Structure 1
Amino acid sequence: MTVEHFPWLTALVIFPLLAAIPIPLLPDSEGKTLRWYTLGACLAELGLILYTFATYYDVTQTGLQLVDNYAWVPQIGLNWSLAADGLSMPLVVLSGLVTTLAVVASWNITMKPRLYFSLLLLMFSAQVGVFLAQDMLMFFIMWELELVPVYLLISIWGGQKRLYAATKFILYTAIGSIFILLAAMAMAFYGDNLTFNFSELAAKDYSLPMQLFTYTGFLIAFGVKLPVFPFHTWLPDAHSEAPAPVSMILAGVLLKMAGYGLIRMNIEMLPDAHVYFAPVLAILGVINIVYASLAAFGQDNLKRRMAYSSVAHMGFVLLGLAAFTTLGLSGALLQMISHGLIAAVLFFLSGVAYERTHTLAMDKMGGMGKAMPVAFGLFTAGSMASLALPGMSGFVAELTVFLGFSTSDAYSTFFKAGIVILAAIGVILSPIYLLSMLRRIFFGTPGELRIPSNTSWDINPREAFVALCLIVPIIGIGLYPKLATQTYDVKSTELANRVQNIRLAQDADHGPFYAQVLAAPELLASRLSTVSIR
């Protein structure tokens, strides 16, 4: 086997899983050897990711690359099918970076370290598998495999209400997963050939009712994980109780799995249905932005406030997906990457503050800026990125989404103006609740906490390293967005043009799209009645 034909993607998926196997045999009950071993495994995986894509991946190609395809369980049509393109490659790199830094953030874990680090590696393998899977059953298996480690990590190492938060997480996400399976089965059995391969599923000639049915199933499933209002309530509970490293992965990577699913399944495979659902995504996106921004004001718990901020920022992903423009889709992808970095650093720094204060209640903090000046500076930088300060990745991502949606010709001027104005209100609210958070933690008179004068609470070199590894790419992308956009530009342009052409073809047959939206149920019902379900 030549180097070029080596199954690189299979190695990326399997390596973290194999690395977890020896952990129970390592002679270290306190975790010192375990954490170095796990860090070494994650660094090796991250290095393998970067080497594979830098050497064998071509960013100028739109098709699937590095394809690995083997018969896994042929009796049920399950294949080990992996491939990478512009949608998956940057998210695999993001997963590698955030998970590796989460291991460094877990340096002080001493309770059941063997189980803890094994679960991190298992979750790493499942994340990469989700982004690279090209078989619907394999995608579902990897999606489900990722749920178990998160549940255990929250329920064992979480806060006082960890069992409630973990149970709520698994119930919401597991129920949502049922809709993935139902939609996948419907697509696989449709027509004359039974298949779970993504490319073959996308090539089927689905009737419009069939597309609308499966699109709805995927939207519910991915809407729970993104999360989309009103399926979002599990997220603040999960973040408030999860250990900081787990929150880093949850916000930095796992929420992006849902955004990836919306693009891969709903837009790429079901483009005709997406034409009908796009205004729904725009409305849901605005609700996410405004509602979550307002809800953030009422959160006294530091991590709950940041969790609602994540819900708001995911609303911009929905808005970009609804735009029917290359700029809009590019902005949605950039927002996923940007938020993955920003949320990871903010949740990590919240964990640093918790280790010193043993509380997440902001009313018990105050005046910590003097005791933690370096941490205050890093926390401020992360907050500035989250509120979309120019020069940071959040600004470029949100601006691209706004431009992509406002320049779309798919909607009436009235509809676009309403959506943009409401989204802008959310943009105005975000600096208010984020700056208020900084003020309550680092300024003013101390709360119930009494900081010992002879104790240094400031961030240590290991913690500063983790924060800087996230802040540097945030600033780098903010100053030179092409660092991120060049990885997916060709793919996003091809996909956006395809959906736009389908919309224009429908406009030619049935009038302008915005007129169809305003016509609402009667027009949709009449059009569905002309299409038979096979």
Structure 2
Amino acid sequence: MSLSSVLTFLVFTPLLGVLVLAFMPKTQEKSIKAVGILFTLPSLVLALGVYFHQLAGKSLSDFSIAKSWIQFGGFEKVDKHLFSVFYELGVNGFSVLLVVLTAVVATLAAITASMYIKKEWKGYFMLFLILETGMLGVFTAENLIFFFIFFEMTLVPTFFLTGKWGFFEKEKAAFSFLIYNGLGSAILLIVIMVLFARTGTTNIDALYHLINDPNAQLIAPLSKGAKFGLFIALLIAFGIKLPIVPLHSWQLRMHAQAPIPVVMIHSGILLKIGAYGLIRFGLGIFPEQFKSVAVLLAVLGLINLLYGAFLAFIQTEFKLMLAYSSVSHMGIILLGLAALNTAGIQGAIFQMVSHGLISALLFFLVGAVYERTGTTDITSLGGMAKGIPVIGGFLLAAAMANLSLPGMSGFVGEFQVFVGIFEKMPVIGAIGTIGIIMTAAYMLRAVLAITYGKAHREFAGVVDLKGVEFVPVFVLMLLIVLIGVYPSVLSSPLHATLLGLGG
């Protein structure tokens, strides 16, 4: 396998699993689950290979591929790149981290699904593997057309996975997800079409130079107002995905109603597409416009942080509390980006990866509790530490990570974000610390009530964590601690990327 074909195999191997599953009888439960898990592994191995290739000091451009795909307007005799869409895949120091995160969480979510999905496994794993391809494609696409195709590829399977295998209000959650994200997709498509018509390309690097070089020759010039309008459209499109308050209500329903493996994917990966888009396209293509709204972004981040934290504090439903916690933590990412300095941007990226791991772990443990008790109501789960101490212990450890205990991944990202925001906007940074305090308050309130609170049920006879359930817990906990004690595993790949973003 040549290095230039690695990303193709990495992205599309899960689809081979879909093909295999299509020819399997739907009654072969064990074989279907084995195939579903097995076909996430090649992408995981290749993602780790790309990551270690970069750590060894070699260039990630070795993996880039660009092949002619579609030509519009017959301009190939003038310039083969003009109004052409290429099959382009590549990674940089930022996107490679998200590719590894995606591959890890997808494999662990597939293992989780093999335990917690109770019906129609064939359809579930076929949709799941399509979803994985879409997520991997989003983070490796090197032009906006391919990004949009993969972005859409994540929406449809997520809709069906939620609507078919979710909890009591699954249909409402699925349609809310589709409507909000479909609106964001429509806005994103308009931006892509305008950029393609005005510049003749959708290549991300080419767009950066054409939009920001005053001497660049465009097909049709873009005024400052037009650039600002396109940037605001991108902010709305990716703000829905992040989500930014008040565009967040669909996310709360998804976290509460989607099946646990899908929530692990959604909270761990899909929310990060919004932040990725803001960094790669908003900050990457429209840096001047991004800078002009930095204060607005900081205010929006502050609203997310405080709104999510205060509402998480009053929840009695554990899944809903974690949903508001995700809203709050996305606010920290916005604060880091608004700082527009190395500490802030790097902290935001750290927070993306860290929250992906921590939220996946928390939702896995929530799923484990629900499987054993039939509830995730905080007031009904008191005294769990005595009955199922292993789950209780890991839940407490995950809570410590979520409230940014030093030595765990959450601390590294949040510390850098606040160093960055205090440098540029100290008043907003000072107010934001209230959200950090509230995070500790709501996490400890909930977890201590569950583990050591007054017992409202009998846990005798309830089985503790066992067998293959330890795999997601150990892997996620190991990565959370590794990043916390050795942050260079994330910072080393980011140096060149941060310079490119002007951090």
- TM tier, smaller: over 0.9
1:471 to 467, 474, 477: 477
Is the CA contact (8 Å cut-off) linking 1:57 and 1:65 kept in structure 2? no
Please state whether the residue corresponding to 2:300 is helix, strand or coil. Answer: helix
1:78 is paired with a residue of what secondary structure?
A: strand
Query: In structure 2, do the counterparts of structure 1 residues 481 and 53 end up closer, same or farther at CA, with 3 Å as the change threshold?
Result: closer
Identity %: 36
- Aligned AA (1:78): V
Match of 2:216 in 1: none
1:445-456 matches, within 5 Å, as 445-447=454-456, 449-451=457-459, 453=460, 455-456=461-462
2-structure distance, mates of 1:99, 1:18? 16
User: Would you say 1:266 and 2:273 are equivalent positions?
Assistant: no
Distance 2:223 2:61 in 1: 26
Q: Which residue of 2 aligns with 1:137?
A: 145
Change beyond 3 A, Cα 1:194–1:423: same
Matched, 1:88 2:88: no
1:351 shift after superposition? 0.4
The one of 192, 203, 210 aligned to 2:226: 210
Which residue of structure 2 lines up, in the alignment, with residue 70 of structure 1?
67
Quick check: 1:377 aligned with 2:393? yes
Q: CA deviation at 1:391?
A: 0.7
Q: In 2, distance between residues paired with 1:65 and 1:241?
A: 42
After TM superposition, give the deviation of residue 270 of structure 1 in Å: 0.5
For residues 118-167 of structure 1, the C-alpha deviation after alignment (integer angstroms, 9 at most, x for no partner) is: 11111110001000111111111110110011111110110110001111
Q: Which amino acid aligns with 2:310?
A: L
Q: In the TM superposition, what is the alpha-carbon distance from 1:430 to its structure 2 partner?
A: 0.5
Unaligned runs of 5+ in 1: 409-415, 498-534
2:107 to 97, 100, 114: 100
Q: Which residue of 1 aligns with 2:487?
A: 481
The one-letter code matched in structure 2 to 1:407 is: E
| 1:179-218 alignment, distance < 5 Å | 179-190=187-198, 193-205=199-211, 206-218=222-234
Counterpart of 2:226, as a letter, is: M
Q: CA deviation at 1:494?
A: 3.1
Counterpart check, 1:173 vs 2:186: no
- Quick check: 265-274 or 362-371, which moved more? 362-371
CA distance in 2 between counterparts of 1:286 and 1:477 reads 25
Answer whether contact 1:477 1:484 (CA < 8 A) is retained. yes
| Aligned residue in 1 for 2:245 | 229
- The answer to whether the 8 Å contact 1:335/1:394 transfers is yes
Structure 2 residues without counterparts, runs of 5 or longer: 73-82, 212-221
The answer as to whether partners of 1:330 and 1:489 remain within 8 angstroms in 2 is no
Q: Does 1:34 align with 2:43?
A: no
| C-alpha contact (below 8 Å) 2:50/2:96 kept by paired residues | no
Over residues 269-300 of structure 1, what are the superposed CA-to-partner deviations in whole Å (9 max), with x where a residue is unaligned?
01110111111111111110001000112222
- Matches of residues 134-533 of structure 1 in structure 2 within 5 Å? 134-190=142-198, 193-205=199-211, 206-408=222-424, 416-447=425-456, 449-451=457-459, 453=460, 455-497=461-503
What secondary structure sits across from 1:496 in the alignment?
Answer: coil
Quick one: distance in 2 between partners of 1:384 and 1:308? 17
Q: Deviations over 1:429-460 (max 9, x none)?
A: 0011001111222222222x443x2x133111
Contact 1:161/1:241, CA 8 A, preserved across alignment? yes
Question: Deviation of residue 383 (structure 1)?
Answer: 0.5
The equivalent residue for 1:79 is: 86
Q: Report the alpha carbon displacement of residue 28 of structure 1 after superposing the two structures with TM.
A: 5.0
Using structure 2 for the length normalisation, give the TM-score.
0.93
Question: 1:364 offset after TM fit, Å?
Answer: 2.1
Q: Assess if the C-alpha contact under 8 Å between 2:54 and 2:493 holds in 1.
A: no
**Larger RCO: 1 or 2 (CA < 8 Å, sep 6+):** 1
TM-score, normalising length: structure 1: 0.87
CA distance in 1, matches of 2:20, 2:293: 48
One-letter identity of the residue aligned with 1:253: I
- Per-residue deviation, 1:363: 2.0
**C-alpha separation between the residues in 2 aligned to 1:462 and 1:166?**
29
Equivalent residue, structure 2, for 1:525: none
The one-letter code of the counterpart of 1:434 is: M
Cα–Cα, structure 1 residues 53 and 479, in superposed 2: closer, same or farther, change >3 Å?
closer
Moved more, 295-304 or 215-224: 295-304
Equivalents in 1 of 2:91, 2:322: separation in Å?
Answer: 32
- Distance in 1, Cα, partners of 2:157 & 2:194: 29
Residue type at the aligned position of 1:196: T
Contact map agreement 2:4 2:65 (CA 8 A) in 1: no
Amino acid at match of 1:29: T
Query: Is residue 162–residue 259 contact of structure 2 (8 Å, CA) maintained in 1?
Result: yes
Task: State whether residues 332 and 348 of structure 2, in contact with CA within 8 Å, keep that contact through their aligned partners in structure 1.
Answer: yes
Which amino acid letter does the alignment assign opposite residue 164 of structure 1?
K
Counterpart of 1:505 in structure 2 is none
- 1:177 Cα deviation from its structure 2 partner: 1.0
The 10-residue stretch of structure 1 (309-318 or 195-204) with the greater mean CA deviation from structure 2: 195-204
Secondary structure, counterpart of 2:67 in structure 1: strand
Aligned residue identity for 2:29: G
| 1:5 positional shift | 4.8
Q: Which moved more, 1:80-89 or 1:65-74?
A: 65-74
